[in-house]
């Protein structure tokens, strides 16, 4: 009898999906740069369209890594941010609040500079594998001895696998 239970036990257990899964997202918003350097000329608080892609990688239920690439403008110059953010998540049923730290690189013209930033946002589950989110990010871009600050406001979709 015990051997039959051991043999059939695996068939009675139900497979359950991970609470969090890897997600691919797209974001749109506005970027507001403040400050200017010799290598990166800019006009304070001139808004520009901001869009990009990101990958959300869960480590544990309350900690995710997020790699992202965002495109926007400093005046008339195109800029690209590459981030590896660490997000701390507060899960509330179908609603998640998050905050984190976002180090990365910014490319403008021939300049490639490091930046650090903070992020905060919220995500809401629409259907089983599709979320919408809003996010704010404040970045300090270091260009030699000078720095520029950029405020991003984004919204988008996240497809969870």
pLDDT in tens, 119-140: 999 999 999 899 999 999 999 9
**Domains defined along the chain, listed by start:** 39-160 (2.40.160.20)
Confirm if 60 and 86 have CB atoms less than 8 A apart: no
Q: How far apart are CA 91 and CA 70, in angstroms?
A: 26
pLDDT of residue 17: 39
pLDDT in tens, 11-46: 444 443 345 689 999 999 999 999 888 888 888 889
Predicted structure pTM score: 0.82
Q: How far apart are CA 117 and CA 67, in angstroms?
A: 13
Confirm if 118 and 102 have CB atoms less than 8 A apart: yes
pLDDT in tens, 74-129: 988 999 999 999 999 998 888 999 999 999 999 998 889 999 999 999 999 999 89
pLDDT of residue 156: 97
Model confidence band, residue 4 (pLDDT cutoffs 50, 70, 90): low
């Amino acid at each position: 009898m015990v051997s039959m239970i051991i043999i059939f036990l695996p068939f009675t257990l139900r497979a359950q999906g991970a609470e969090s899964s890897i997600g691919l997202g797209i974001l749109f918003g506005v970027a507001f740069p403040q400050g200017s350097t010799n290598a990166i000329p800019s006009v304070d608080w001139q808004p520009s369209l901001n869009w990009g892609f990101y990958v959300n990688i869960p480590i544990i239920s309350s900690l995710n890594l997020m790699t992202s690439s965002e495109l926007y403008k400093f005046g008339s110059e195109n800029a690209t941010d590459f981030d590896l953010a660490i997000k701390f998540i507060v899960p509330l049923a179908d609603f998640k609040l998050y905050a984190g730290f976002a180090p990365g690189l910014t490319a403008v013209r021939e300049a490639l500079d490091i930046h650090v930033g903070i992020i905060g946002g919220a995500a809401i589950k629409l259907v089983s594998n599709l979320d919408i989110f809003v996010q704010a990010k404040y970045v300090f871009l270091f260009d030699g001895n000078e720095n520029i600050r950029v405020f991003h406001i984004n919204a988008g979709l996240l497809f969870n696998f």
